[in-house]
Amino acid sequence: MRSLSALELLNIWEWGHNQPSWSRAIKLLSSACPETSIDMLTQLSLGQRDAMLLTLREWTFGSQLVSQVTCPSCGEVLELDFDIAEMRLASLSIESVEKYRFELADYQVSFRLPNSLDMIAIAEYKQPEIAQEILLERCILEVVCDGKYLPFQQLPSHTRDVIIAQMAQVDPQANVSIDISCSACNHQWRSLFDIVSFFWSEINAWAFRVLREVHTLATAYSWREAEILAMSPRRRQLYLDMVAH
């Protein structure tokens, strides 16, 4: 994996305007990992995918994550400041698709982890319960009870819950949450951290800023967009300062 140039990032941003989250994630990674096939990237578990996106985010915008949340109890707007290391729950690795097995009472279960292909498959199901049911059916590879294969539909609900918990345990990076405490009212809550939407909103804000910079410099100097984007941010800023004064 390598970092992305300003021009590449801008092109991805433009392409991803109307794309779903999973598609943006794969586009970012396929651009940063030209040596890895799209097939391989879409079969990464969501945790493996997100670990790579965290690294790409760090290379693009640095290791500090800053965001704003509104306290659900008192409405105070809080500024959150995290280091990417705090969000990294698993090491970065691209391994082949793994099969996991465990036993629970009379059941022997084998499953694989949800990946981007599963996200594509469930995208059309708007009801979370149905989407989760289809996701589980895709990821549970085999259930044997008393020596007989059991159809997915006959799996007891408590066994399903254990399988979901096992999936979360072996792929912790797929489900990152942060503990938040309100400085105004001391209310505490836990919020999911989604690197794909977080990174994308940053890319969006960055793109608007960079396009304004291109506009200012192209107007002042008649340089082409590609020339301006190829400059380091520092050099671009120095020219912007000169235009402003």
Q: What does the binding site for Zn ion look like in residue numbers (CB under 5 A)?
A: 71, 73-74, 76, 182, 184-185, 187
What sections of the chain are H helices per DSSP? 6-15, 21-32, 38-42, 46-61, 84-87, 116-122, 128-139, 157-170, 195-221, 225-230, 233-244
3-state secondary structure of 70: strand
Q: Name the DSSP class of 43.
A: T
CB of 79 to Zn ion, least distance (A): 13
| C-beta atoms surrounding 92 within 10 Å | 12
CB of 125 to Zn ion, least distance (A): 35
Distance from chain centroid for Cα 98: 20
Nearer to Zn ion, 41 or 182 (CB): 182
3-state secondary structure of 64: strand
Nearer to Zn ion, 119 or 182 (CB): 182
Nearer to Zn ion, 5 or 73 (CB): 73
CB of 69 to Zn ion, least distance (A): 10
Nearer to Zn ion, 112 or 187 (CB): 187
Nearer to Zn ion, 77 or 192 (CB): 77
Tokens standing for residue 16:
């991803």
CB of 167 to Zn ion, least distance (A): 33
CB of 64 to Zn ion, least distance (A): 23
Cα(210)–Cα(225) distance, integer angstroms: 10
Tokens standing for residue 176:
């990152």
Nearer to Zn ion, 63 or 186 (CB): 186
CB of 54 to Zn ion, least distance (A): 28
Closest Cα to residue 82, out of 99, 100, 62? 62
